[in-house]
A and B are shown apart, each in its own frame.
Chain A
């Protein structure tokens, strides 16, 4: 092979390998994105069935039930609720009435089977996703209470 052909082959091979690596990375990226849904979105059926996602909000007061190593609790954004079941130990900062984010899949019966309940490093820290869920719900509620007294009539 001439030096020039050789160099060309080297560059071409490099580009092919890089493209393959990029395709592979992006593919892995695509299939491992974990989306976040609020309890309201879940109750509207926006969350995917059979795919892992995150859900968050507040742990409803009085909803925590233990059964062996299985725990059940309810996540609420004050408007909608979703039941969660989880096998394992809860993080130190898990408390009723505090923010929580958990990751898992939604079962056919509407039960969220969590594979992970996320630990946070600071007690006063509200997981941003959980805060987001509460804010969304509060905003929706506010919007509704404005609309309800004066529903628009007349127009088809």
Chain B
């Protein structure tokens, strides 16, 4: 009964979304002032009502999961009666249908947030923004109802569910999708503001100021979501890798890159009134890439292009929806953009030009990632053979594009608006530059060997860190209140520096040993010694495991005991590697069990890794997130 109610609520939500999408926008087009106000005022209540209905549907699905209602097909595919309760709840977004429902729920949540926090906006603007969000919601609700209904029944009901993929049974993955989706969906708000501005023809500084905090919040969630995903892959996959250039990862990286360009470009539009067209295009691109990402990851297109063939309805819907969103917004852009007045003038060297350069570099990097991600899909779909584009391509392309981007962060934030002087900037940054060069030359010797890659990476990291510190010190020394956005900018930039140093350190100085070990065997990665102490059988709620006890010694003293596990889940007989990790400030020690090499299971293959700077990756991401929070909290936006 409850699933049917959920289904019904979803249908009602689609109807309300149509009203939310059509009526307020119609209200901006009619002549009669009375009708105008009436129709436009419908934006807020319809958004709220849609949220309530979608939330009800989501609750209905969650209750089916928590009550082990295996007569619901989706539940029987992604849950199991032995699955711990928190994971049963998280399993709601463990598959395609449920994650789309989560997407729509978060979209409704963002719409309500816009409805609530838009009191300072003119009513027609609110009507347009919420209307556009409503139209996006219509698309998604129709997609769910016609091709991916999570409430579909299974007759006869299954005795028990197939269980959630064991890889997903992890706290990191419980919060990763909601965070990522908050980011993706948040880009819809930036998109809605851009489209609303195009509709009204008022593409001005005010639009940029309204749009900025929303975009920053979306970017912050996206950053956090990507970081969580990377962290999860690192400790859960048992390979010690944290970024694989997997199409799924690329799908989330692309909106992030464009989103990063967007938040900077919005700043120029707000402060100087320039780059309007470029900013609008970035907003459209960021959301389109978010859509592409959502669909690529969840529709099964990526794991196999043949998912198109197995369920052509889904694939066609996806393509049509993407085409409508991109086509409609670009048409609107082409129609309206020529009327957009040019912004303030700028000189060849100015803060604007630095930001523009970085914007373009980020877009080129995005295009390179897009090429590598979808080219194999297109070739396969056209039956022109099978090929893949591996990490070497992405590494080869990404590093040279991001080196100048990161380098320009500092002169860009030092340079004056409109007209800056190269000599002045160089003079101001000369000691910072010298310090970064000195550190880049010396640090590699300390870390374990000189290499050009390490020196370049460390130089960039130190350059941004020192440059940021210099600006903060200078500003703190001056009188006057310092806004939250100042701190946001510099905390986030500092986070980037930490991330760059972390990536450099782990890429250049990690040590990986694949060894075979019996109880009592040792392996040494100076200055650490790892000894396999014992192997035990342990039992979890829905799996049993072999757990190794690995002592880590330094100077003959035990500093840590790591307990990597090899799990076997009852429901699927799928083997899973749980790594044992010891995190320090400067390094991780990482041990994972491979497989038994003899029948008595006394000798195992094992991975023993020394991973310097890995905690810096997460630290860098968290600093960027913190920076985003500060930037969004700036007083200017709370008027």
Contacts and interface: CB of A to CB of B under 8 A. Distances in A.
B446 interface: no
Contact of B389 (A29, A119, A129): A29
Contacts of A119: 237, 239
A128 B305 contact: yes
Contacts of B516: 68-69
A147 interface: no
B493 interface: no
Interface residues of B, number: 45
A6 B348 CA distance: 7
A131 B306 CA distance: 11
Interface string A20-55: 011011001100111110000000000000000010
Contacts of A66: 597
A88 B514 contact: yes
A89 B388 contact: no
A129 B386 contact: yes
A53 to B, nearest CB: 9
Contact of A36 (B165, B388, B400): B388
Contact of B368 (A6, A9, A25, A129): A25
Nearest to B306: A128
A21 B364 contact: yes
Q: Chain A interface secondary structure, helix, strand, loop or mixed?
A: mixed
B574 to A, nearest CB: 4
| Interface bracket on A | 35 or more
A92 B592 CA distance: 12
A90 B594 contact: yes
Interface stretch (B13-21, B390-398, B423-431, B519-527): B390-398
A132 interface: yes
B605 interface: yes
A34 B348 contact: no
A35 B392 contact: no
Given A25-B371, A128-B303, A128-B304, A32 B389 contact: yes
A92 B594 CA distance: 8
B397 A24 contact: yes
Given A10-B348, A90-B594, A123 B572 contact: yes
Contacts of A9: 348
B303 A125 contact: yes
B605 A33 contact: no
Interface in B279-329: 303-306
B382 to A, nearest CB: 14
A128 B514 CA distance: 29
Contacts of A68: 516
A116 to B, nearest CB: 9
Contacts of B167: 121
B259 interface: no
A155 B444 CA distance: 74
Contacts of B368: 25, 29
Contacts of B375: 29
B376 to A, nearest CB: 9
A28 B594 contact: no
A36 B533 CA distance: 43
A129 B387 CA distance: 9
A109 interface: no
Contacts of A108: none
Contacts of B353: 10
Nearest to A53: B387
A101 to B, nearest CB: 9
Contacts of A113: none
A107 interface: no
Contacts of B387: 33-36
A34 B386 CA distance: 9
A25 B364 contact: yes
A34 B367 CA distance: 19
Contacts of A122: 165, 574
Contacts of B238: 92
B607 interface: yes
B161 interface: no
Nearest to A30: B393
B165 A121 contact: yes
A125 B372 CA distance: 23
A90 B239 CA distance: 11
Interface-central residue, B237, B388, B514, by most chain A CB under 10 Å: B388
Interface string B226-243: 000000000001110000
Interface-central residue, B306, B385, B605, by most chain A CB under 10 Å: B605
Given A25-B364, A54-B388, A92-B238, A32 B576 contact: no
B162 to A, nearest CB: 9
Contacts of B397: 24-25, 28-29
B390 A103 contact: yes
Interface-central residue, A29, A88, A89, A129, by most chain B CB under 10 Å: A89
B360 interface: yes
Contacts of B400: 24
A8 to B, nearest CB: 11
Interface string B574-614: 11110000000000000000110100000001010000000
B577 A28 contact: no
Interface string B554-573: 00000000000000000011
Nearest to B567: A92
Nearest to B605: A89
21 contacts: A18-B360, A24-B397, A24-B400, A25-B367, A29-B368, A29-B371, A32-B390, A32-B393, A33-B389, A36-B385, A89-B514, A89-B594, A90-B595, A92-B238, A92-B576, A93-B574, A119-B237, A121-B165, A123-B573, A125-B303, A128-B306
Given A28-B396, A87-B514, 12 more contacts: A6-B347, A9-B348, A14-B360, A21-B364, A25-B364, A25-B367, A29-B371, A32-B396, A35-B386, A36-B388, A54-B386, A92-B575
